[in-house]
Structure 1
Amino acid sequence: MKIQPAPILKPVLFFIIPSLKGGGAERVIISLANYFSKKDFQSVIISLNNDPPAYVIENNVKVICLTDRQKSRFTHRAYHIAETFYKLIKLLRTEKPVCTLSFITSANIWAGITCSLTHVPYIVSERTSPERSVIRFNYLHRQLAAKLYKRSAAVVVSAKGVEDCLLRNKTFKKLNNIQRITNAVTVFQPLSNQRVHDRRFILGVGRLAYVKGFDMLIEAYAKAGFNDIDLIIIGDGEERANLVCQVFNLGLREKVLMPGSKNNLQDYYSQAEMFVLPSRNEGYPNALVEAMSFGCPSIALNCDFGPAEIINDRENGILVNNEPISGLTLAMLHLVNKPALKNEIGNNARSILQTNHPDKILGEWETLIKKHAATSRFATQFANNQPAL
């Protein structure tokens, strides 16, 4: 009788995030899980809520949703907290991950508490301005977050501004484990030969939320008075109804289009006259990086944080520093009226393909995660099954 060799075990990595619906953090964490699943790891994505993923997840990546708020019978917040805690602890004990990576403050807190109790190395990542997230907590919650962040293997931020903002706050000023890893250029499908719109257009991309500032973009576009250039905003979100009313009230129904989410963003980026990022806050805007990688001339409000670390004003893009609405209007008119400058900015923007190349950025994540995964009490059980971490 021939004895079959035992299956080779792979070290497990947990990727924890509040939701998998569309957004920059979701795109990044899914790309990381996909990447590590090809690097002799078993990637497990844990979503705290049950939302359909907005981006492609590889078949060999396990996805676990802890709760379904829309279908749940939860009548008390305490019960929801208890079940989330119980399920995470159980998963950590049964799956035995060598390291956990979490994105966004709520997931960071859950990862910090449960990984501390189960002695699993964990890395947390703040993906937006801390003033909108962890710094807004009440005193006790801030103290808890600071202790958990200090115990983590690393606190990863995507922009220096996020790091500076954390360290300016007295609760977090003693953090000495912050590491900056920017966002990689998204890898898209090849461009198609079909036009996405039959007229010239300005492009905005992002979740339709107040913080993304599309109300300001629509007003700025209206003030510009373009006759032959439309505005297309790609994305969905809770502000859609308000934005539709705004467009209607401004008499722009035929010129401002909001077709929802699209799976061919690469065609929009490559065909747009320009890209505009009107965000009130960011962490490190993926959409701006994506647009620039296609050579799309880009304008961004100099918000907290990210745009000023990506754009050198008037070289590879335009930063708007004052009076956001009138500033956006003037910037759009400036690029339309100066095609040579527009082309130069677009050509220079392509350099982001080198500075933010996926191999470079994912390599930085790999170095960080492998360093701390090797210290896990579960790591030794894989030593005879695969190369050393």
Structure 2
Amino acid sequence: METVVRTFISELDQRGIHVKLVLLGKYKPKKHDLTWLHGIDYELLLPDFPLKGFIRDFFEVKKLSKLIKDEKPDAFIGLNNGAISHLWKARNQTFPFHIFSWVHFALKILHNPSILKKADYHLSISSGITHDLVTHLGIEKKNKIFTVYNPIDSIKGLNNGLIERPNDGLTSFLFVGRLTEQKDPTLLIRAVSRLKGDWKLHIVGEGHLKSKLEALVRSFHIEENVIFHGWKSDAWTFIQSLTPVSALILTSKNEGFPMVLLEAMSRGIYCVASNCETGPADIVNKNNGQLFEVGNVDELTHKLQYLIDSKGGNLPSQISIKNSIEKFSSDRYCERIIEALRRGKVRQDDKLQ
């Protein structure tokens, strides 16, 4: 999410559109890493306010309303339920404006998703989220929802160099992500424990399941095949220097829009992904990877074993994999975003429909 927001702000800035990021909630230095905000115009609304609940909300809305009156933005985007609710309340204290929602998770894992109905328009990052907004919240698709996907940074994405495939008979699998229940790395360990042949699995990421996963690896006696690398601040630079890669594996139970697939494909890496809600079906096709049923260890094992047996000989070329995600380039993305924001713009003296 941080990567997408940074790309969004950078790309709009290059087009002469300034973005200010307003952060809600209490700031805890030991918990919150703000290094990703370097170079961004941002404001912590009430970082040291001691109280929680409706009292905090009341004062946050008052300060947000003052900021809106002072700076008079042209567009208002809420990244979560709290932001949308605050904007909705601030609108009653300032002047008419339209609110865009821009959520980055499947609706079913949001707390009280009905709050999204307070927004006038919706920037949807996947066709699955668009479907959920229509079917679960009854929002009109044609005029209210803009399916914009997520962007690959034009500098760090589509212009990336390719990460080589193995040429020595070894099949090298890659997992990049948090080691949590949502990402379901346990399924991956169970699947690779059944594999036969010459293979390795490189896991880049941290999470509370790590010790359990390490114990599972030992119980299957595959310690020499599975390598835990931990969290890396620049994961792809690390991977580039680490090893050739045959395929990236995504085993998530749900997603908003899995950027790791685009990041891998922009480097020519074939992807095997769970067909979870939401996102993978928008990205994965016969030119860059394949999908498997969520939680189906037999299907995942079969697909990985095939890659080992074929030694990657039947995979699409790395160039075709890279070209398959061109529609997610930041240029195309910005065209979709700017058009949506223009349609939702309202002058201060206009009345909301």
Q: 1:63 to 1:81 in 2, by over 3 A?
A: same
Q: How does 1:178-327 map to 2 (within 5 A)?
A: 178-186=145-153, 187-188=155-156, 201-225=172-196, 228-254=198-224, 255-265=226-236, 268=239, 271-312=244-285, 314-321=286-293, 324-327=296-299
* Cα distance change of structure 1 residues 45 and 277 upon mapping to structure 2, 3 Å threshold: same
CA distance in structure 2 between the partners assigned to 1:319 and 1:345 by the alignment: 18
Q: 1:83 to 1:318 in 2, by over 3 A?
A: same
Q: Which amino acid aligns with 1:42?
A: H
Note the 1:35-184 alignment, pairs <5 A: 35-49=11-25, 50=27, 51-53=32-34, 55=36, 57=38, 59=39, 61-68=40-47, 73-74=50-51, 76-115=52-91, 117-118=93-94, 119-133=96-110, 137=112, 142=114, 144-146=115-117, 148-149=118-119, 152=120, 154-169=121-136, 171-174=137-140, 176-184=143-151
SS in 2 for 1:202: strand
Aligned residue for 2:193, secondary structure, equals helix
Distance 2:18 2:206 in 1: 32
| 2:344 is aligned with 1:367 | no
Q: CA RMSD in A?
A: 3.3
- TM-score, length-scaled by structure 2: 0.81
1:360 to partner: Cα distance: 0.8
Alignment TM-score, normalising by the size of structure 1 = 0.74
Q: State the Cα deviation string for residues 248-269 of structure 1 (Å, max 9, x = none).
A: 5444445231421331415626
Distance (whole Å) between structure 2 residues aligned to residue 317 and residue 264 of structure 1: 21
Separation of aligned partners in 1, 2:162 and 2:315: 22
Query: Can you list the C-alpha shifts for 1:285-329, whole angstroms capped at 9, x where unaligned?
Result: 1111111121111101111112122222x4421111265222222
Determine helix, strand or coil for the equivalent of 1:305: coil
Q: Which runs of 5+ in 1 are unaligned?
A: 1-24, 380-389
Sequence identity (%): 19
CA distance in 2, matches of 1:334, 1:319: 14
Q: 1:335 to 1:365 in 2, by over 3 A?
A: same
Distance 1:188 1:56 in 2: 17
Mapped partners of 1:332, 1:38: distance in 2: 42
**Structure with larger RCO (C-alpha < 8 A, sep 6+):** 2
Q: Which amino acid aligns with 2:84?
A: N
Runs of 5+ unmatched residues, structure 2? none
